[in-house]
Chains A and B, each alone.
Chain A
């Protein structure tokens, strides 16, 4: 009791250094835990970009590449696959449902996704979340379009606005599909996934856009087919870029994967999204490691700062220790005072750091989540948080042995009388 009181009052007697030390520990705690939050949040929202899908199927290339273009809408497919292959596997006895996607066009830098109604019905992200409409409904007519949250926000679109699509995925496209305007019929709620940045039309619409194109080149003048005529044509899609597969039973996932990979009519590739997502995260995980290393450095610096500040006070505290010894304090009391002081500094630092972090989370989470699409996860502490806080505590306790030992040695050398 006396020990804690002495440590506490002695610290308060050195307000400025104590304050700075606690502040630097608090800062490193918030940084470490904050980075852990962002890291696990980023990983979680990354891994929950698509869920409820057992297999993703596309033309044979690299699994990461397939994942990137089908889920993240980054890069392009080397090849499309035939619509017939899609139909074949959609009707496969072990397949519950399949969602086709067809890429290749864009709208003001946003990717255009050709798909079908199943997309709005079945697509899931972040565990069990389904796509929901902020305004409007899924596309029904040929020239209907449904836009993601980012698209509508950035371009200030509302339902029944008319937009035109461009060929290719570049920001600046030289080849417009200006002859066939689309009408926005639906705006999706924010998901924090690439869906927000997507423009959705039907597979038939994709076909319609290119119905008068030949070999990837726009129609020669005079050969254009007007939207009115297009509506009356047979627009059965000829190919898709990839499709998402949900099986009736997960048990058969490897069987079906093998079957798709060995499909004879066409070179297909099926990937397990979870596995590939994890692989992809590992490759981009270097950023995560760099962040972690930076915050560990900040922590080490704050511990070193604490040790230095304690050491620097020791010479002026020799008399304090001699007084305590003279009234009967044991040798190890001097050692304990320093250890307890470190505990007080560290625990206050940890508590302040955690409070600041949570306050920040509560205040800024909505902004971070809506504006940056970064899910910071639950407010409740994670296992990693305990590991970090525990290591911080143990680390500083170990470091505190240095000043404690110094004080102990000083006190032994001084005895009761300190030379002035």
Chain B
């Protein structure tokens, strides 16, 4: 199977800290794979996602996504690359409060020509696709009617955010603890919908959580401490007897 993401010999430390937070010899994600990246809070999961998203660049090593070495791109090209090929879902407050749900979902196409072209190749308008995605994620127009996005329930907001991440069919969806703010029963149905959509479009999914119980549903479970040679910050503290 083809490789979507390949990280090799990566070293990253936040400015001001002496020891690196991440030291990863090799980490690969195959195309269409659904990877569950697990690790305790503060272990550097979100930092790794920032690196994959091209917002941070590693001090050493390579991050290749779709055969493109992110470090070789300049900052604007990395932003464009992220806009064209990735979709993000975060833990909470994913939506711009001053836009409607539809506007939130179509927004990625305003920043990425590629996403916009992909949508318009199949649909008559961006709004059509947004409506379709929302419908598949079980958000009916009736739910949205007369409501600002902040008036939706957290579960509904996360589904609108998922629709936005899926909009324009990016190759990679990165989800950073998207279920941590959800109740257990909603969490499962949310995951089910997310998986269905990823499967339909053949989207690769990197899903980050500190909650190990979710792992069994994924193709592969990776624990950050298994791939990261660096000593996590909290263990450093133990070593120093703090």
Interface positions of A (Cβ within 8 A of B): 2, 6, 9-10, 12-13, 319-320, 322-331, 415-417, 420
Check B76–A330 contact: CB distance below 8 A.
yes
Known interface pairs A2-B111, A10-B98, A320-B96; A327-B46 also in contact (CB < 8 Å): no
Q: In the complex, which residue of chain A has the Cβ closest to the Cβ of B79?
A: A330
Check B56–A327 contact: CB distance below 8 A.
no
What sequence of 0s and 1s flags, for each residue 180-199 of chain B, a beta carbon within 8 Å of any chain A beta carbon? 00000000000000000000
Check B111–A327 contact: CB distance below 8 A.
yes
Chain B residues within 8 Å of A328, by CB? 79-80, 82-84, 108, 111-112
Chain B residues within 8 Å of A416, by CB? 46, 49-50, 53, 55, 88, 90, 176
Output the least CB separation between B48 and chain A (Å): 11
CA distance A167 to B100 in the complex (A): 82
Chain A residues within 8 Å of B88, by CB? 326-327, 416
What sequence of 0s and 1s flags, for each residue 47-74 of chain B, a beta carbon within 8 Å of any chain A beta carbon? 0011001011000000000000000000
Q: Is B147 an interface residue (CB 8 A)?
A: no
Q: How large is the interface on B (under 10, 10 to 19, 20 to 34, 35 or more residues)?
A: 20 to 34
Output the least CB separation between A321 and chain B (Å): 10
Output the least CB separation between A73 and chain B (Å): 64
CA distance A319 to B76 in the complex (A): 20
Q: In the complex, which residue of chain A has the Cβ closest to the Cβ of B164?
A: A327
What sequence of 0s and 1s flags, for each residue 80-97 of chain B, a beta carbon within 8 Å of any chain A beta carbon? 101110011011111111
Chain A residues within 8 Å of B231, by CB? none
Check A323–B97 contact: CB distance below 8 A.
no
Q: In the complex, which residue of chain B has the Cβ closest to the Cβ of A319?
A: B93
Chain A residues within 8 Å of B50, by CB? 415-417
Q: Which residue in A319, A327, A420 is a CB contact (below 8 Å) of B107?
A: A327
Q: Is B201 an interface residue (CB 8 A)?
A: no
Q: In the complex, which residue of chain A has the Cβ closest to the Cβ of B95?
A: A323
Q: Is B236 an interface residue (CB 8 A)?
A: no
Chain A residues within 8 Å of B87, by CB? 327
Check A13–B98 contact: CB distance below 8 A.
yes
CA distance A331 to B87 in the complex (A): 18
Known interface pairs A330-B79, A331-B75, A416-B49; A323-B111 also in contact (CB < 8 Å): no
Check B108–A327 contact: CB distance below 8 A.
yes
Check A12–B79 contact: CB distance below 8 A.
no
